[in-house]
């Protein structure tokens, strides 16, 4: 059962980038439920280096996952060449990210808790 979004707690637009299977969509859903304006950018699929900018983020969050973890989440034969291409496409976004979380060490709830906590600590005054 999907919960209804909470009242908006933050007016900042949050954009999430990361390679496939890093948890972007799951995090965006959890942040929206918690009252944040969160969206995913498919930067890893675009040769436009700054595609993420087109969503006009106030906060840019990068989710990282290594190839072994990605393979565990998706397919054990996920091509290293596709992963490398996605990392290259994400380079500009990660360089500009306000927060980068390595998701290999955390489950989806822990990632959401870490990001939500960071967002609440950085609320504009």
| Model confidence pLDDT, tens digit, residues 5-17 | 566 678 899 999 9
For domain 13-119, the CATH superfamily is P-loop containing nucleotide triphosphate hydrolases (3.40.50.300)
Mean pLDDT, all residues of the chain: 92
Question: pTM to 2 decimals?
Answer: 0.91
Percent of the chain predicted with pLDDT > 70: 93
How is the chain split into domains, by residue range?
13-119
Largest Cα separation within the chain, whole Å, is 47
What is the helix (H) or strand (E) element at residue 95, kind and residue range?
helix 80-96
Contact 94, 62 (CB under 8 A): yes
């Amino acid at each position: 059962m999907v919960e209804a979004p909470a009242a908006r707690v933050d007016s900042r637009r949050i954009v999430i980038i990361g390679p496939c299977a890093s948890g972007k969509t799951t995090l965006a859903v959890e942040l929206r439920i918690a009252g944040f304006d969160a969206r995913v950018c498919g930067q890893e699929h675009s040769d436009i280096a700054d595609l993420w900018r087109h969503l006009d983020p106030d906060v840019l969050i990068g989710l990282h996952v290594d190839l072994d973890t990605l393979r565990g989440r998706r397919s054990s034969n996920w091509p290293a060449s596709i992963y490398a291409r996605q990392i290259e496409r994400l380079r500009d976004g990660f360089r500009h990210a306000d927060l980068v979380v390595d998701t290999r060490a955390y489950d989806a709830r822990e990632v959401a808790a870490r990001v939500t906590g960071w967002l609440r600590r950085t609320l504009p005054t």
